[in-house]
Structure 1
Amino acid sequence: MSLKKYSKNLLGLAITAAISTVAIADDDANKEATIEEVTVIAKKLSYANNTVDTTMIEQQAPVSSVLGVMDNLPGISINEGDAFGGDDWSTSITMRGFSIDGNQQQLGMTVDGIPNGGSNYGGGAKANRYLATENLTTVEVAQGTSDISSASLDALGGTFNFVSKAPDMEQSTTFAYTTGSHDAERFFVRYETGEILDNTYAYVSYSDTSTSRWSGEGSNGGSDNQHAEIKFVSTQDRLTLTGRLSYDDVAEDNYNSVSIEQFNQTPDWDQLTWNWTGIPHYDQMFAEGWSTLRENTLAYLKAEYDFSDVTTLEVTPYYHKNKGRGDWIPPYLVMAVDENGNPTDKGGSIAGSYGFTDQNGNPLAPADGCTANFTWPWNSGPGLHPACYAADAVPVMSYRHTHYAKERAGFTAKAMTTFGSHDVVAGVWYETSQRDEHRDWHKVINASVYHHFDATPYWTQYDNTFDQDTFKWYLQDTMTAGDFTLNLGVQQYLVDLEKTDNYQAANNAKVNSDSDVLFSAGALYEINPSTEVFAGYSENFAAIKDGVLERDSSTLTDIEPETAENIDFGIRYYGERLNIQATAYMIEFDNRITFIAPGSDTDGIDYTIGTNGTYINVGGIESDGIELSATYQLTDSWQLYGSFTKNDSTYVGDAPGFEEGEKVIDSVDDMWVLSANYYDGNLRFGASTKYTGDRGDAEDYLVTDMNVGYSVEFSGSGIKQVDLALVVNNLFDEDYLSTGTGNGTTFFIGAPLTTSLTVSANF
């Protein structure tokens, strides 16, 4: 049975089960009979901001990543390799022309205000590594102008703060099981302790999740994830302590990006294979050889002390440890030499490569006269084709590992006080971190059989250590006079970054990535109790990343940190049934840092790139646009939501790959969302449709999601509630290209129709 037929059959069975029994996605013990008064119009601030509400969380299955819950907010496009977020490699987030993807980290991300340590693939971790969907309360999104206290070195275009749920006051245990398309399976348990000490509450949760890649059949790879969280809150007189620990261990097989021509040929195949052929040039695309392995532990302890009713001090020390690996399987072995041309197993450079040996392991060259241009699915050339060698030649290949490790320790501190018409906040953020990265090449033991590899590498290409110290200070005064509010703020980042090349001291480097003193200002005027207008200005900053120092040829004295100036104008309306927010924005992004790869015109994958290539500043980006969002309480049971985004992002200055005035690669010009949610007694239903416009040569697309459920509550002891929840993503099985890879030529394929069914019980 094909995956598409399987998905549709599962959908039919799931809908039948949902109608004939009980279904709901949420495990709250006491659901209201009518819809909650929730809205994405957030706090009264002088800049654009939105928050994720309950309905947006319910539109995503528990097996999904927490990143996906933001996708319906204005200005934001979330793209993941599959509907369950099972591949960090193919994940991207764009907002107002700024991106988080494999090459760029221009948006800040925190969890309960704790910095995530960067969102990049190598040594970074997005919020889905720290927080399970079941333990998410909301996501606070600041578009353009971020909260001045936000602890991030990436917040050029705004910030995302993922807020974990607080412990319940009553003791309970929740068990949940999810099954779905593409072999999805998830076990989840959460124990709420109730009051364990005086005014002290806690919970502990654990989940075990596995899925298969949707593209391909049989042995086509997938994701396996173990995740645990502990949180407690204790209030003692004027002191409140909040502690949280999360642990995440995941192994993911990646999705591959494709060209538009490849997509048009086979819109449900990402060109990775699922049958081992014994021919390395084909098997370099074997799905289970493209992998991401990551382990993340994050802990914090927040102390909040109220000196008085108007003065509070908050101090939060934290610790984060990250380690992992990224895999590829090049269809050859490399010959490494030192600076004197002698063979080496550490450092040096690549003198050549070979794809076949004789029976004794001696490298073979293609047969004389073998000049035919054989057609390959990815590269062409006779050097690796079996026809160019004797019948008894032995194919060889490598298993290339890039190892990542990172340790961070730091704290945030914030003091808040009120006097007269002034609300003043001042704070600092300090962090020290060390990141290690090395790449080694392992010999595949028998390439004709499988990709099992020798645990001892035959060559370690490079070994680098990056030490970084970050200090930020900020001060903001918010002044109120009647219906008018004015805030003024200043902040500064002091960042020192040092690279140690553990093989060649000559490549050691340091860079100072301090910002200027950055100013922000905003004004808000309350026209009447239901209507307010606002305007905001901020100077944003992103420090030079340690990835820049990876490249030996980057001229650090010529690289400057990235900066952005954001201006927002907007209006908010809060009615009895209707809430609206409209924002116009203008952004100037300067000193954009771009990687120029060596041999960028190479056809196919260049596995040999190590620390060569360079980073340069290449002008900037100008963005302007409008964002609209609204919720309307049609009846006590029906709620409608919509958002609209019009964005124009263009490059400033010429640089390799683009010219002045061209559209920013992968930026989205037009997006809109329409959704409806229905609650009646224990029954609930939701449907949401999102339109995403053209992104360069990638065509626009329309995707619809649906969720339905019913909850049964029980009185007395034992089971308190049983829920059954159905979530359907891409209901009409739209074929589309989701996000690009930053080069404007290849894109990841959007996930097909995907269903999941969750049964949960609360005791």
Structure 2
Amino acid sequence: MSKSTPLSPDGVAACSRSNEGERSSSKTPLAKAALAILLAGLATQATVAQDDSSSGMEVFETFTAVGQGESRANNSLDLEALEIAMPGAMPEKMVDKIPGVNVATSDPFGFYEFANDVRVRAFSIDNLGVTLDGVPVGNSNPRYGTPIGRMVDSANLTTIKISQGAGDVTTPAYQALGGSMQYFTKDPSKEAGAYVSASYGSFDHLSMFAKYEMGEIVPGFTGYVSASHFEFTPKGLDGLAKNVGRRAEAKFKYEGFDKVDITYAMTYNDRDDYDTMTMSYSDYTQLEAGDYLGTGEGYKEYTPWDYPDLGTWNYGDYSDGGRNLGPLAYLDYTVGPGEGTNAVYYDKWRNGRMDTLQRFNFDFDFEDGKTMDVNVYYQDKNNYGLWGRGTDYAETQIRAAYANDPTRTDIWGQMWYDAAGNPVSSTGEIVEEYSADHAIVAPGTAAYADGVEYVAGVPGRTARDENFGGHRYGVTASYTWETENNKLIVGGWYEFDHHGTERPNYNLDGGSVMGAYRYDQFNFTNYTRYIDQDVMQFWVQDTYTTMDGDLDITFGIKALQLDRDAHGFLSISEWLANEETFRSTTYEDFFLPQFGLLYSLNDSTELFFNYSENMATPTSGTITTAGDTFNPDILKPEYSDNFDIGIRGSLPFGSYTLQAYSISYTDRILASAVPIDSANAGAAGNSVYQNVGGVDSWGVEASGDFQTGIDGLTLSGSIAIQETTFQEDLFNGFSASNDAVAGYRYEVNPEATGESDAYLEYLDIGGNDLGNTPFLTANFDAIYKKGQMRYTFGGKYYDDVYVNTLNTQPIDSYTLFDASIAYTGKADTALEGWKVSLNVYNLFDSYFVYAAGYTDEDGTVRADRGRQYTLKMETTF
């Protein structure tokens, strides 16, 4: 047997390969990363605690643990030790302390899903394999998938395992280009009891959590139930509204059978949030310079009626540097610029998510080292999203719909004609049929004649009430056969996912954006999309142990196939024509290999190497792209090749890990706006997707712990260096001239057929840095325990980044500090079982902005909200 813990399906696998002959030849040499790891080893004093599975290594009370016994970069979070985390923080927010992981959120909790930017090395969380107790989330997209924060309460988690470079081939995922995030919940206790906590703090934050442990109900059968309530005031909505999340969970386990343990778990999630605003980079720099849109003023509260020329989106509370920039909380709908501005009000800028996940786990233990793990799951999703619209937009769609089919009866408003059948305006003039002057009236309004009152069919502001969700179910199974020198894992995953989306638009009561929805007054629909997909994945992995147990050699292969169908009105142009569409795509690759080496230098030091290839299928949204821009034969899956190499071990005063990596990411998919001359231009939910080349990335990461000479004081830290660049320029279309334009270059088009396509236009980004990807990040945390007191202090440095691919819009670096102080009641006193703690986020109230999204030319930023205090009380009984 190996001296190290054998590789397990807790996370090895992943990166990828391109179609034969299409992979980029431009790769960052592994030698560069290997040299960098040696230099970093001389420059960095790394620290991190070892996994409990490690042998011969002392375990200290720290936040992170290295993946001892794994042939790849792997770290874990011990959530019971992570008291520095802000109470109420979502699971996505907690992983920020892992080296190579960076998290930016619009609030300290990571509650608002559309603003969460979780990146691991070169990839976002959408390109990672994420699981909960072995059950895949499918994908982490807030729209088409399920972010992990909906599926589990942080208080019920015990461990989060992060494989920065590659999850193993047994990780069920169809969009994973990089590593994996594995979340594990606590098992029920055999001792009956209860736990209750309550937190209150800044921004009207209130969190409550209660858990009842049933104990051993009958021999071998245990269980618990829990419930939580979470709320806080989002930006710009003080005294008006709150983001609210509620969750109920249960877990039961039976260990009374001879060969199998059975676990059942259920999560019910119900949450509502309000959208938050961002600043365009150009707005941000003008505010900083004190000349916002030529007003001669900088940070202040702007309102639509004070500056009528500001335009549709340029309003809000910038008075504190944008920290309170949120939905429009003040509104006089009788004045102000533009249809768009006055169509948006905070109560029509809202999202809701209701999910139920049920799962069974069967853990079989046969004789002679043979085991099998089976997960069966079912998830139901019921979600909504609201948004305000102006009168003009609704009228435009209604006129276009009648122009395509004058006999349709699904629209509430009717076109108005005089007694002779001539199309007329609201004042009775004969006009061109279906033109902007052709009046739309309420049903029952008489044909126009002198004295007939005009009753508007669209009396004012409108709004959409989008409903989306569906269900998914699946099963994973993994069979393991372990002998003295060999460990074989064979398994697979099947999932069916149905996702439906309907986006109808209705009148609002009284024509006011503050009015209730008139569901009896339907105007139009942007789309009705119904997407079904079947996913199948198979894997085999073998670990052979040799050299007296010092060397583990692991080789694995996975095969992946995804079939996706879509039907309905996939874009508004199809609804206007009253013609539904059916589409089908298939993505597959049956040879995605992984190879790993783990060598034990001694009982306290390991060397590891890992190579993996992985494929990520295009997202669900790609099959709904507008009109003739959809071509399943052209859009290819994304691929990546990933190398990891490193060393980890223990020292007399602590433990460490040091690792380097190289990633080649090819066939990257870019979502762009629908061309302006398309019938779907400006329509919500429509994009054009294309493969636009690749990205090269290399980096070095170090982390560890340090047990100081001061009794009770432990230090932990990590550092990561990363360089991520575009491989080539991006083809942007054709041009009639090659006049120099900043950020673009031109080539003569050898196949030009006219003046308008004489040149090939490229966005000049080859060698540019990937947006929102810092070169340097560093974490530091300290824990000091003295008697019943516990003090923590930590910080993170985040290097400056660009927010556009042209690399012309930089934002500054920042350092953020957190702290906490806690008192635990002494045993055998009246305070036994009680605990009180004070947590402070952004301790020194540092002002900084971070990337909220980036485009080719103009990105967006969001201001941090500032210092936040939270007082928490908890007890067990």
TM-score bin, normalised by smaller chain: 0.7 to 0.9
For residue 193 of structure 2, the aligned residue among 147, 172, 177 is: 172
SS in 2 for 1:513: strand
1:578 aligns with 2:603: no
Question: Could you list the per-position Cα deviations for residues 373-421 of structure 1 after superposition, in whole angstroms to 9, with x for gaps in the alignment?
Answer: xxxxxxxxxxxxxxxxxxx9x9822212332112111100000111241
**Alpha-carbon distance between aligned partners in 1 of 2:836 and 2:459, rounded to the nearest angstrom:** 52
Matches within 5 A, 1:225-244: 225-236=245-256, 237-244=258-265
**Aligned with 2:72 (options 21, 26, 47):** 47
CA deviation after TM superposition for structure 1 residue 218, in Å: 3.4
1:249 to 270, 285, 299: 270
- 694, 709, 717: which is aligned to 1:642? 717
Which of residues 623, 633, 643 in structure 1 aligns to 2:697? Answer: 623
SS of equivalent to 1:40: strand
Q: Deviations over 1:332-391 (max 9, x none)?
A: 3413233853466769xxx9xxxxx9899x99989xxxxxxxxxxxxxxxxxxxxxxxxx
Given candidates 478, 492, 498, the residue that maps to 2:543 is: 478
Alignment of 1:544-693 (within 5 A): 544-552=618-626, 553-598=629-674, 608-610=682-684, 612-634=686-708, 635-655=710-730, 656=732, 659-693=765-799
Alignment of 1:724-739 (within 5 A): 724-739=836-851
- Taking the aligned partners of 1:632 and 1:215, their CA distance within structure 2 comes to 43
Question: Aligned pair count?
Answer: 687
Instruction: In structure 1, list runs of 5 or more residues that go unmatched.
Output: 1-33, 352-356, 367-391
- SS of the residue corresponding to residue 410 of structure 1 reads strand
**TM superposition shift of 1:594:** 1.2
Deviation at 1:707, TM superposition (A): 1.4
How far apart are 1:43 and its partner, in Å? 3.0
Give CA deviations for 1:112-170 in whole Å, capped at 9, x if unaligned: 11111211121311111011111111110011111221111121111111111111221
Compared with structure 1, are the counterparts of its residues 359 and 188 closer, same or farther at alpha carbon in structure 2 (3 Å cutoff)?
farther
| Aligned counterpart for 2:359 among listed residues 300, 307, 311 | 300
- Residue 67 (structure 1) aligns with: 92
> Secondary structure at 2:509's aligned position in 1?
coil
The Cα shift of 1:245 comes to 0.4
Task: Give the equivalent residue in structure 2 for 1:376.
Answer: none
Distance 1:285 1:397 in 2: 9
Q: Is 1:223 paired with 2:243?
A: yes
Q: CA deviation at 1:289?
A: 2.5
Q: Residue 575 of structure 1: CA displacement? A: 2.6
Name the CA distance, whole Å, in 1 between partners of 2:603 and 2:141.
43
For the structure 1 residues 261 and 201, does the alpha-carbon distance in structure 2 shift closer, same or farther, using more than 3 Å as the test? same
* Cα distance change of structure 1 residues 73 and 319 upon mapping to structure 2, 3 Å threshold: same
Equivalent positions of 1:174-189 (< 5 A) are: 174-189=195-210
Is it true that 1:699 corresponds to 2:805 in the alignment? no
How far the C-alpha of 1:287 sits from its partner, in A, is 3.1
Which consecutive residues of structure 2, in runs of 5 or more, have no partner in the other structure?
1-58, 289-298, 300-317, 416-424, 438-455, 570-574, 733-762, 803-809
Alpha-carbon distance in 1 for matches of 2:556, 2:109? 40
Query: Alpha carbons of 1:269 and 1:607: their partners in 2 closer, same or farther (altered >3 Å)?
Result: farther
* Structure-1 residue corresponding to 2:164: 143
Moved more, 633-642 or 495-504: 495-504
- Aligned residue for 1:446? 510
The residue identity in structure 2 corresponding to 1:749 is A
1:499 is aligned with what amino acid? A
- Larger radius of gyration between Structure 1 and Structure 2: 2
Is residue 246–residue 270 contact of structure 2 (8 Å, CA) maintained in 1? yes
Q: Does 1:464 align with 2:529?
A: yes
Distance 1:305 1:85 in 2: 37
TM-score (normalizing by structure 1): 0.85
Distance 1:284 1:270, change over 3 A: farther
Task: Report the Cα distance in structure 1 between the residues aligned to 2:165 and 2:553, rounded to whole angstroms.
Answer: 18
Aligned partner of 1:163 in structure 2 is 184
1:274 maps to a residue whose letter is A
TM-aligned CA deviation for residue 506 of structure 1: 5.8
Inter-partner Cα distance in structure 2 for 1:53 and 1:750: 27
Identical pairs, percent: 25
Identify the range of structure 1 (244-253 vs 438-447) with the bigger mean alpha-carbon deviation: 438-447
Matched, 1:535 2:609: yes
* Match runs of 1:204-603 below 5 Å: 204-215=225-236, 217-219=238-240, 221-236=241-256, 237-263=258-284, 264=288, 265=299, 266=318, 267=321, 268-270=323-325, 272-278=327-333, 279=335, 281-332=340-391, 333-335=393-395, 336=397, 337-338=400-401, 340-342=403-405, 396-448=460-512, 450-456=514-520, 457-481=522-546, 482=548, 483-501=550-568, 507-552=581-626, 553-598=629-674
Contact 1:312 1:416 in 2 (8 A): yes
> Aligned residue for 2:834?
722
1:742 shift after superposition: 3.5
CA distance in 1, matches of 2:676, 2:828: 66
Work out the CA distance in 2 between the residues paired with 1:36 and 1:85: 26
The CA deviation at 1:710 is 0.5
**CA positional deviation for 1:455:** 2.5
Structure 1 residue 714 displacement after superposition: 5.4
Gap change, CA 1:416 and 1:329, over 3 Å in 2: same
> Hey, what's the Cα distance between the residues in 2 that align with 1:709 and 1:191?
24
What is the alpha-carbon distance in structure 1 between the residues aligned to residue 92 and residue 685 of structure 2?
31
How far apart are residue 733 of structure 1 and its match?
Answer: 1.4
Per-residue deviation, residues 722-743 of structure 1 (Å, max 9, x unmatched): 1112111111112222332232
Q: Distance in 2 between matches of 1:155 and 1:207?
A: 31
Between 1:746-755 and 1:640-649, the stretch displaced more is: 746-755
Secondary structure of the residue aligned to 2:534 is strand
- Residues 440-484 of structure 1 show CA distances to partners (whole Å, capped at 9, x for unaligned) of 112222355724221343222211111100110000111111211
Q: 1:214-236, CA deviations, whole angstroms, 9 ceiling, x for partnerless residues?
A: 445432x4311110110112212
Amino acid in the other structure paired with 1:423: K
Instruction: Tell me: CA distance 1:319–1:647, structure 2 relative to 1, closer, same or farther (3 Å).
Output: same
Using the alignment, how far apart are the partners of 1:114 and 1:346 within structure 2?
42
**Alignment counterpart, residue 866 of structure 2, candidates 733, 737, 752:** 752
- Give the secondary structure class of the aligned counterpart of 1:71: helix
Change (3 A) 1:648 1:284: farther
Shift of 1:269: 3.7
1-side partners of 2:471 and 2:224: how far apart?
Answer: 26
Aligned to 2:674, what secondary structure does the other structure show?
coil
Asked whether the 8 Å contact 1:56–1:70 carries over to 2, the reply is no
- 2:670 & 2:360 partners in 1: Cα distance? 37
1:84 aligns with 2:109: yes
Contact 2:133 2:183 in 1 (8 A): yes
Q: Distance in 2 between matches of 1:403 and 1:345?
A: 22
Mapped partners of 1:462, 1:292: distance in 2: 18
Q: Name the structure 2 match of 1:58.
A: 83
Greater CA drift, 190-199 or 742-751 = 742-751
Secondary structure in 2 matching 1:316 = strand
SS in 1 for 2:621: helix
Q: Counterpart amino acid of 1:460?
A: T
2:133 alignment counterpart: 112
Checking the alignment, whether the CA contact within 8 Å between 1:235 and 1:241 is kept in structure 2 is yes
**1:742 corresponds to 2:854:** yes
Look up the SS of the partner of 1:549 in the other structure: helix
SS of equivalent residue, structure 2 residue 811: coil
Distance 1:600 1:666 in 2: 28
Q: Deviations over 1:41-93 (max 9, x none)?
A: 12321111111124763122332212111101111111221012221111111
CA distance in 2, matches of 1:69, 1:518: 31
| Inter-partner Cα distance in structure 1 for 2:121 and 2:729 | 21
* Aligned partner of residue 571 in structure 1, secondary structure: strand
Contact 1:145 1:566 in 2 (8 A): yes
Instruction: Give CA deviations for 1:308-338 in whole Å, capped at 9, x if unaligned.
Output: 1511011111111112012221233413233
The letter for the 2-side match of 1:513 is Y
